[in-house]
Amino acid sequence: MAAYIFPTAMRCSVTFVHFSYVPTPRITCCQVFNNTIQGYASLRKLCSSTSFTSHCPAVDSGDIVTQYDRMVQCGSLREDALQRSVLRRLARLQKTLRNYSNTSYLNPPPLTTNPNCDRLQTRTDISVIASGACAQKEEDAPPTPPKGFYIYGDVGTGKTMLMDMFYSGVQNRCKKRVHFNGFMLDIHKTPLLIARHYARTGIHRRKQRLPRRKLGNMFTYDPISPVAKEIAHETCLLCFDEFQVTDIADAVILRQLFQTWFNTGVVVVATSNRPPDDLYKNGLQRDTFLPFIDVLKEYCHPICLDSGVDYRRLHKTGAGKLYFLTGEPGADAALDAMFDELAFKQNSFTGPKVLTVLGREVTLEKTCGSVADCTFHELCGRSLGASDYLEMARLFDTVFIRRIPMLTLRLKDQVRRFTTLVDNFYDNKVRVVLQAAAPLDQLFIHTGVDDLRDQQLLDDLGLTEEVAERLSLFTAKEEIFAFHRTVSRLTEMQTDNYWMEGDRSIMKKQRT
């Protein structure tokens, strides 16, 4: 059997160095579902142990700029003037939010009207209102709510770290932090929603409660605003990580969703790899999405955090060999040995496991406790999505992914799934061991391959070749952009720090 290097974090004892700042663990909305459907009491119980909460006390973290300076001095961070500048602006918003409430926007004061306008019974009266004679006095209107931030930049520049520091230090109980993809997944697949009443007031269920439409008695119904308002009733700060728009359905919903939040005084802080003007770039029917970009920039200060440095690739101690080439002699034997060693520590037997996700059954053929040994086809060759990967992240702390092929434009669906899988595993600190057909930086070939299915779709939509050259749906520019982030994240996921943070057995011992 070929010799292999086992991760350092598994071969030696671990010494933990405590800093004043501890990143708040992230949790996605699907993970809240089981508690949500059991009622508000269960949600409160969940809040006591996670950062995903509007009711849990914030961590008293002091001055986050001072914390940042201390971390630089002790060597855990590298000095970055741009990061520090962004953190100063976030610190000011922290102070503003300390005593902030959006109640006045949810329950505006009654209109102050002209005494001569006591009753409105005719069209003339309505026109008087329109002229402003009976309108609410300006002094009765609540003050302008504080602006949030939209922090964008290249991969690995520290956006999520700054978001962690900001969120954990906000001294306000009405706050929530979610990964944007998970949030939108649940918006679409209600009742998997994340606030107290989502399970009974989601979009789908609201539609179901409507009376059936009869011929000649048509009406329209807006299911988005009520859901957004329910969120606003429990939240005055929403933090979104990895804000992106790649789906036309998301593009349609977002404007109304966010406009309702902004109108009800909700402050939004988001991180993204894209500048606001590049969101949903080259997407289908993008013209209908452009007004949302203007709204976003009106209520959130855009900040560029792009120092040109990917910190995930700098000064990281590797956790042993976690990336194997498929043609490498002894690679399969080395992976088998690693799995057996991890499985030996589990209080379980090796065998298949059936996951139930959204009423569907997803079978993984080889698992043992919190370890899963999968092929690329099992994870990305089937019609799986974010909800499936979130369930895997909940159940497993270590996942082997074998026989990853060369990824080409002909495999765009698999590339999208692999990117989504890595995003969800990274956000939940799932450790991965990979076996691929090429080194990570050479795994995705995105030139010179035509997809016959794209040509068929082009014909079905009645679009010309010239139009297709500008649409990301056909050019795969979005996949290329996203895979750059995937490479960066997988690089960090092979470090000692990441491997130790993902060891849930250690976390359990610490809690006990």
Q: Is the peptide bond before 291 cis (omega within 30 degrees of 0)?
A: no
Computed from CA positions of residues 486, 487, 491, 492, in that sequence, does the dihedral angle turn out positive or negative? negative
Pairing of strands 237-241, 267-272: parallel
The predicted pLDDT at position 282 comes to 76
> Is the residue at 228 inside a domain?
yes
> Is the residue at 69 inside a domain?
yes
Among 274, 304, 334, where does a domain finish?
Answer: 304
Whole-angstrom Cα distance, residue 275 to residue 475? 20
Please indicate, yes or no, whether residues 434 and 469 belong to a single structural domain of this protein: yes
The stretches of 203-344 forming alpha helices (DSSP H) are 203-209, 224-234, 248-263, 290-299, 331-344
Model confidence at 12: pLDDT above 60? no
The predicted pLDDT at position 91 comes to 95
The predicted pLDDT at position 501 comes to 86
Please indicate, yes or no, whether residues 405 and 285 belong to a single structural domain of this protein: no
In this structure, of 35-49, 197-211, 258-272, 439-453, the range with the lowest mean pLDDT score is 35-49
The predicted pLDDT at position 479 comes to 73
Domain of 322: which CATH number?
Answer: 3.40.50
Please indicate, yes or no, whether residues 300 and 333 belong to a single structural domain of this protein: no
Model confidence at 402: pLDDT above 80? yes
Please indicate, yes or no, whether residues 373 and 267 belong to a single structural domain of this protein: no
The predicted pLDDT at position 301 comes to 96
Please indicate, yes or no, whether residues 184 and 263 belong to a single structural domain of this protein: yes
Q: What is the CA radius of gyration of the chain?
A: 25
> Is the residue at 406 inside a domain?
yes
> Is the residue at 386 inside a domain?
yes
Q: CA 363 from chain center: how many Å?
A: 25
Which amino acid is present at 500?
M
> Is the residue at 121 inside a domain?
no
Model confidence at 348: pLDDT above 50? yes
The predicted pLDDT at position 362 comes to 96
Domain count, the chain: 2
Computed from CA positions of residues 366, 367, 373, 375, in that sequence, does the dihedral angle turn out positive or negative? positive
Q: Which domain holds residue 294?
A: 22-113+143-304
> Is the residue at 123 inside a domain?
no
The predicted pLDDT at position 253 comes to 85
Cβ–Cβ under 8 Å, residues 341 and 371: no
Among 280, 304, 328, where does a domain finish?
Answer: 304
Please indicate, yes or no, whether residues 351 and 221 belong to a single structural domain of this protein: no
Q: CA 250 from chain center: how many Å?
A: 13
Among 276, 304, 332, where does a domain finish?
Answer: 304
Q: Between these two residues, 17 and 245, which has the higher pLDDT value?
A: 245
| Angle of CA points 364, 366, 368, to nearest 5° | 110
Q: Between these two residues, 111 and 92, which has the higher pLDDT value?
A: 92
Which amino acid is present at 54?
S
Whole-angstrom Cα distance, residue 218 to residue 208? 16
Pairing of strands 431-436, 351-357: unpaired
Model confidence at 277: pLDDT above 50? yes
Please indicate, yes or no, whether residues 413 and 456 belong to a single structural domain of this protein: yes
Q: Each residue of 259-281: b (16+ CB within 10 Å) or e?
A: bbbbbbbbbbbbbbbbebeebbb
pTM of the model: 0.61
Model confidence at 331: pLDDT above 90? yes
Q: Between these two residues, 110 and 220, which has the higher pLDDT value?
A: 110
Q: Between these two residues, 234 and 135, which has the higher pLDDT value?
A: 234
Q: How far is CA 325 from CA 3, 76, 329, 439, 440, in A?
A: 14, 32, 9, 7, 10
The predicted pLDDT at position 393 comes to 95
Cβ–Cβ under 8 Å, residues 332 and 17: no
Model confidence at 193: pLDDT above 50? no
The predicted pLDDT at position 358 comes to 82
Please indicate, yes or no, whether residues 187 and 105 belong to a single structural domain of this protein: yes
Cβ–Cβ under 8 Å, residues 87 and 165: yes
Whole-angstrom Cα distance, residue 90 to residue 176? 16
Cβ–Cβ under 8 Å, residues 324 and 3: no
Give the strand order in the sheet containing 323-325.
323-325, 431-436, 398-404, 371-375, 360-368, 351-357
Which H or E element spans position 500?
A: helix 496-501
> Is the residue at 15 inside a domain?
no
Computed from CA positions of residues 424, 426, 431, 437, in that sequence, does the dihedral angle turn out positive or negative? positive
Q: Between these two residues, 66 and 136, which has the higher pLDDT value?
A: 66
Other beta carbons within 10 Å of 416 = 18
Please indicate, yes or no, whether residues 268 and 329 belong to a single structural domain of this protein: no
Please indicate, yes or no, whether residues 338 and 376 belong to a single structural domain of this protein: yes
